[in-house]
Structures are given as structure tokens and as C-alpha cells.
Amino acid sequence: MVDSIEIRTTLGAENITRDQVRAWEARRAESVLGKFASRLGPHAMAELLPDRTVDEVAGAPLDIQRATLTALKIELGHAGIYAMLKRDLAISERMARIGVATSRGRTKHAVTRLEVPHYCAERFAAWFNDLTATNAEADMVDASPDHYLLRGLPDGRQEVVETTGGSPTASRFLVDYTRTDALTIPVDPDYPVQIAGIAVLDDGLVIGGVRHQFRDRDGTLEALLTVQFPGNLPARLIHQHQWHLAGEFSNWLIAAAPVAATS
């Protein structure tokens, strides 16, 4: 598929092509599809995919794989997702608690930069915020094969079930966009549009957070995307989450074109 917009990507200090981002996403789609097949078994997969086999989906183009995975997740429902990932979520929560305790306040940041010519930062941020406000679950899940469940909760927080970066297990946490007190990600005054919040477990333990910053420069939207993790997280997982950020936000930017594009 040819993207409808131009997206320039930088992971840390490394320039990355759109083809490289899509190749990383394709590998993640294959991994997630394999997890569905192994966890649910052939009979459940036949119910969820009555018109095609797992092998047919695995051999399809990335955009078809991603759309199929989104349909699978929506059809399975919240309870089904929790059940399929029960073991993952228990393990990842224990690891998150250990990571926070042993990091002793130290944090690390995964940073990805995107540039999109002829795009408006304020319009995109408004579109993105509206996904949570209107609880557009399918649009939120569809942005990445690693998204299992993203939804807005009645209290205004966002529930996220996803595979974070290169983690072997999926994790579940809540993002509170009304709080930034525990963030160590600095505010860049050159980026006037900010989307920021802390990530917490159900009991309120802060395990990280996000600060996504946007600006318009010479007709180009520039996004400074940053996720905060406990300081003991291995560098490899931080690097993999940079790819995760590149993939999900590229897909959201493409989806937002009718609203955010300026020409």
C-alpha cells in the first residue's frame, strides 16, 4: 500500500524510512496473529475467521493483517482479551511493580520524532484526543498490531492493554491525562501542543507515562513522542518501543488526514 501522506521518522538519532517502519510492524502482526492462534486454538479461530485461514491472513499484505487483527480483537471483546492474556497480564504487572521498586525513582525515555509536511499540529492533537473522548475503540486498536484493548473509562482515564515495545508479554495499565506530576519527561517550550499523562496500575502505582509534544514549523507538523519507563528497563526494550511509537502514530496520522491535512 502507498501511504497517502509523507512521514519522516527519527528513532533517537537515527533516520528511519517508512518501509522500515512497516517492516517492523509486519513482524509484530505476524507475532500477534501467532499468539491468537496458539492461545485460542483452531476451533475458536475458525469461529472468529470463518472466511479465511490463519495461514491466509499471515500471507496477506500488512494492511489486511492489521485490519483482520483489529476485527478479531473487537469480536473477541474485552472479556475475551482479558482471558486470552490472563497469564501475560499477571506476569507483566509483577514485573512492573518490581521495576518501579528497583529503579528507585530513576526513569528512562523512549523518544521518536515524526515530521509530516502540510499537516496541522493542533488539528491532529484535537483528533487524537477525540479518540478517547468518544471511545473510538476500533480506531485506537487499529493503529498497531500490539494494541489489544484501548478504551476511555467513565472517569476520563484510558485503559490500555498492549505489548510495550519488545516485551515478551502484553501489559495492562491506565493513563491519566489529568496528571503529569510524576513525569520526568521535560516540557519543550518550542512545542506548544502537549498530550501528557501518567500511567498507573489499578491501585494507583505510577509505572510510567507519556508526553507527546507537537508543533507547526514551516508548514510541517513536528511530533516529539516520548514514553517514560522505570529506569531498570533494558535498552533493547526502550529501542523497540521507539519503533512501536513510530508505527502507531504514523497510522494515526494517516487516519487523521481528512481533519489534520492542510493541503
Instruction: Kindly tell me if the per-residue pLDDT of 1 is higher than 60.
Output: no
DSSP codes joined into one string, 7-36: -EEEETTEEE-HHHHHHHHHHHHHHHHHHH
Residue 166, pLDDT score: 80
**Mean pLDDT estimate for the chain:** 95
Residue 263, pLDDT score: 79
pLDDT tens digits for range 4-53: 789 999 998 899 999 999 999 999 999 999 999 999 999 999 999 999 99
Residue 222, pLDDT score: 98
Cβ atoms of 232 and 106 closer than 8 Å = yes
**Range 178-189 average pLDDT:** 97
Q: How far apart are CA 170 and CA 240, in angstroms?
A: 14
**Range 109-121 average pLDDT:** 97
DSSP codes joined into one string, 108-172: EEEEEEEEEETB-HHHHHHHHHHHHHTT-HHHHHHT-TTEEEEEE-TTS-EEEEE--TT-SS-EE
Name the pTM for this structure. Answer: 0.96
pLDDT tens digits for range 232-256: 999 999 999 999 999 999 999 999 9
User: Cell numbers 517514560 correspond to what residue?
Assistant: 228
Name the nearest CA neighbour of 244 among 136, 111, 151.
111
**Range 84-109 average pLDDT:** 97
pLDDT tens digits for range 134-144: 999 999 999 99
Helices (H) and strands (E) in the chain, counts: 8, 9
Residue 192, pLDDT score: 97
**CA angle (212 as vertex; 208, 216 as ends), nearest 5:** 170
Residue 53, pLDDT score: 92
**Range 76-100 average pLDDT:** 97
Name the nearest CA neighbour of 131 among 253, 222, 233.
253
**Range 113-121 average pLDDT:** 97
- Of all residues in the chain, what percent carry a pLDDT higher than 70? 99
Cβ atoms of 213 and 90 closer than 8 Å = no
**Range 70-97 average pLDDT:** 97
Instruction: Kindly tell me if the per-residue pLDDT of 132 is higher than 90.
Output: no
Instruction: Kindly tell me if the per-residue pLDDT of 2 is higher than 60.
Output: no
Q: Assign a CATH topology to domain 8-16+91-260.
A: Alpha-D-Glucose-1,6-Bisphosphate; Chain A, domain 4 (3.30.530)
Cβ atoms of 132 and 212 closer than 8 Å = no
